[in-house]
Structure 1
């Protein structure tokens, strides 16, 4: 299994997972043109994408999905019933080809050849948010952003993965002292908002094991965080703390418009 975080941030989110049998997009928050260009940067033809998994309806995760489904009929798209219903009712991403729409509900695990996908509910102010664990060839990567907190149930689902993409959205002091309105700050800080650097680090402390080799720091706010603060918090809590991670663990920063390398998990 290989992974690249193609883009991560409030301007749009999408990632690539490849197995021997599949090339998968995790979220589709960018235009079709931009997604195609980012895939090309890591050596993947967009025509080879055969699956897409959607976390929730917010535009920075879903805006490009309708275009991709209409332009590339090969793509089977997956989301839960609540998310599909909301997108259909609001017409947010245009007309959706029904034959390409598939459901995976929170708590379900589905198998697609050499790929197992487990969906789990998160806490965010969207219709029915959920994220996923992808497993292939005995390796697991867990994706988790856009949640106000990480429950014990979620920790049990994502524990002991080989890799994580985890939201390190904001530095608490930068958010409190920053330019956002108080109502927006309250939303971000709430249980249906986002994870701070410290909250994300603590969630990882609770779930990583020595088998964990890659940690992608994702969905970093451009106004309320810095790459340095997120990275140093993760390093201090995970590498210099008591997690017993191997010294070769890689903490990888992600960017809003530049893909990470295509990394073998």
Structure 2
């Protein structure tokens, strides 16, 4: 066990499963005080117990929930250092003309508006305290190398990547860093939606065939990238979209 994040406090949204759980586990192992949020209270509590971290049920589209999580961090750990906007959603792979307005609103609210809320509510804390901060958004290779039939999901992740770069420029003088990490398709609770069929090795072959290193991304892959960006080793890195994709975007 190392301590690259020793003494730092991190919020990881969508931390009860998939990439979020992997990120939370890595951060905790590296010495961080971790607060995971999720909509699933039962699963969130279970993961928090497993990882010896805190859980707060939160809807990332609700500003009051963000305020509550910030208050929890300050009450329990007296500080906040790292924010990982990992929670995300998609709709089933299908022709764009078949996407409903409700599905469009859902991906934009969860994937984009949540970043808006985290910025508006948490950045003032760092500015007021004159404290360096680190925001990491879990975006997607879909934001830079989109596939058909997921148009509005792709657009939401492109917005996240662009907003992250803009925020990095705007808040760099305040020593608040913004970066994004873009996974290629992995095996998570949403994979069946991305491929439009059950998540099996056979059904993933079409996606995996476009990845030069020949496999999907894993929670550990994404966690390692996030840990680097959150650590002091990356204190001169901001505005980067780190593609953790086995060469998919080359």
Give TM-score scaled by structure 1 length: 0.40
Instruction: Name the one with the larger helix percent.
Output: 2
Give TM-score scaled by structure 2 length: 0.42
